[in-house]
Structure 1
Amino acid sequence: MGLKKDFILLTKPYYWVNILLSLSYLLAKKTPGVCAYLFTPKESECELDSRETEILFFLAIVVMIRTRKAGSVTMINYLTSSFIYTKIANLLLWAYADYLYGVVFGVIFTITALVLPEPTYSGPENVTYFRSEFALDDELENDRKVAWIVAFYTVWNPACVNFAPIFSELSAEYCLENLRFGKVDVGRFPGTEKKYHVSDSSLSRQLPTIILFRNGKEVLRRPGADSKGKLQTFFFSKDNIKAAFNLNTLYKECKENGVSSSESSKDK
């Protein structure tokens, strides 16, 4: 997703409201009139004390770690991955200043989460969703001439959520009748999780996992393991996926077989 698209998305209420909530305590502290009204008229009260500084420092560390694990590579990804942590930190800061302020912020926090859900990708896609335990196996056996790029994911994992629109865009750009894109929710199908060695643990670094199948067999996956079996870090950006799976060459090879593009998404 380009920077221009990121700024367009920022105009949506979900983003600017959450940005305001994430900065609410600092804005209140640094705005003289607001600070004097909410806290005390003393000038010292408009400066952060040691406890408030500790909370903000801890927040910065958590956000950096969690967004890195989530594979956040764009401004929007960083924001959406950090909102929950910044808002919890603000809840603690408001409650530390006055428990009533904490209650009010908590109510606002809850209402905005219900009224302003995160915008979801609404563009074109050519993705087959495998909705049974053996659907992927059956499809791979059904026609070995088809190359499949399959995303193994869970609905609750932030990295999977961030990657979903990227995978949809890639499917719309590269899908052919003999080059197809699929998704499997490993949280729903434990058998699939075990067979393809993709852990859905909350501590797992395998979500999402993208596997390329050719002739019904796995030929490449990301993230992959090194020679010692250690999982290698992989950032799921559009360019990284194109490079890792050599999509341009794969697309050209499949297209030269004379097969027309797939026109619609399918459920299995």
Structure 2
Amino acid sequence: MGKKGKNTNNGESDVDRTQYYDITMNILFAMVSEPYYLLHFLTFFSYFSIRFSTSQLFSPEFAAHLLRRELQALLAFVTLTAVKMVKEETWDGFVADMLLFAKIFLVGISLVVDYHLTLWFMLAFLVIYIFTQQPPYTGLGSSAQLTPLQLEALLTEGGTSKFWLVEFRSLFSSTCIRTSRVLPELSITFSNKNISFGVVDLGLFPNTAARFGVSLGIPDQLPTFILFENAEEISRFPEINSVAKASDITKKRLCRHFELDKHLLDYVSGK
């Protein structure tokens, strides 16, 4: 018995190590393969390269002053990271916030060194913003990637699901990218024969927006989540003319708004 328990603990430990290894490798792969992350990494790394290559040019007093400022910035960044790690619901939103904070602190520290260095970093971040964007979450969970024609067919011709919860998004929108994993993860938990989940990319089909009352203007209403029952819209989030921030779109908020727990219980109880 004791020997068997020991093997079980070793097996669990091996699984944990494998999971951590997979997460680490996925992060490293994303940093290398995604231009958005790679360019940010190179820009941040350039500060350390410049810092250590020019350190001999600083007077002892200035070097000490700069070190204090760097430690203060690092402490503030670690504190914000800890707060966001608790409050932020999605990995994509957490990464976006951390990169924003890192940019602010890096620009602030570079001002202490030399304003020319600040201009260099501001230009580098502007180029990154223009030519790259944060990659969206690519997993679909139990949700379906739909074209407008497919959605129309499902709503008008009926199907196996009484309810359809559809996210209208555009991957040109930073808000949609930050929240791109919310619906797929909800679909894994709540998808069943009574309710299905789908995604329509209005960046590919902008003419569809007016059909479902979604604004692509300024400010736009993306992402918009609409719950259909037998081809009729019964609820949406955010509401028309409502100003919702990315932080408002969470799994908990959508679950409560669309009563997903109730739909799941109705399915389990056979209603």
Report the TM-score range of the alignment, normalised by the length of the smaller protein: 0.5 to 0.7
Aligned positions of 1:33-72 closer than 5 A: 36-37=55-56, 40-41=58-59, 43-44=61-62, 47=65
10 and 118 in structure 1: CA distance in 2 versus 1, 3 angstrom threshold: farther
Total equivalences in the alignment: 227
Structure 2 length-normalised TM: 0.60
1:184 aligns with 2:200: yes
* Cα distance in 2, alignment partners of residues 110 and 232 from structure 1: 28
Given that 1:72 and 1:81 are in contact with CA atoms closer than 8 Å, whether structure 2 keeps it comes out as no
- The secondary structure found in structure 2 opposite 1:149 is strand
Q: CA deviation at 1:35?
A: 6.2
* Cα distance in 2, alignment partners of residues 100 and 22 from structure 1: 12
Structure 2 residues without counterparts, runs of 5 or longer: 1-18, 32-36, 78-83
- Structure 2 counterpart of 1:251: 264
1:216 aligns with 2:231: yes
| One-letter amino acid matched to 1:252 | L
Structure 1 length-normalised TM: 0.61
Structure with higher Rg: it is 2
Residues 167-208 of structure 1: CA distance to partner in whole angstroms, max 9, x if unpaired? 11111221123311011111222332012121234632x211
Greater relative contact order (Cα < 8 A, sep 6+): 1
Of all paired residues, the percent bearing the same amino acid is 22
- Structure 1 counterpart of 2:151: 136
Q: CA deviation at 1:94?
A: 5.5
Residues 1-23 of structure 1: CA distance to partner in whole angstroms, max 9, x if unpaired? xxxx99x9678233799579559
207 and 105 in structure 1: CA distance in 2 versus 1, 3 angstrom threshold: closer
140 and 75 in structure 1: CA distance in 2 versus 1, 3 angstrom threshold: closer
| One-letter amino acid matched to 2:257 | A
Q: CA deviation at 1:157?
A: 1.4
**Structure with the higher helix share, 1 or 2:** 2
* Cα distance in 1, alignment partners of residues 88 and 217 from structure 2: 19
Aligned positions of 1:80-99 closer than 5 A: 80-81=96-97, 83=99, 86-87=102-103, 90=106, 97=114
Residues 46-73 of structure 1: CA distance to partner in whole angstroms, max 9, x if unpaired? 647xxx9xxx9xxx9xxxxxx9xxx965
100 and 238 in structure 1: CA distance in 2 versus 1, 3 angstrom threshold: closer
Q: RMSD in angstroms over aligned alpha carbons?
A: 4.9
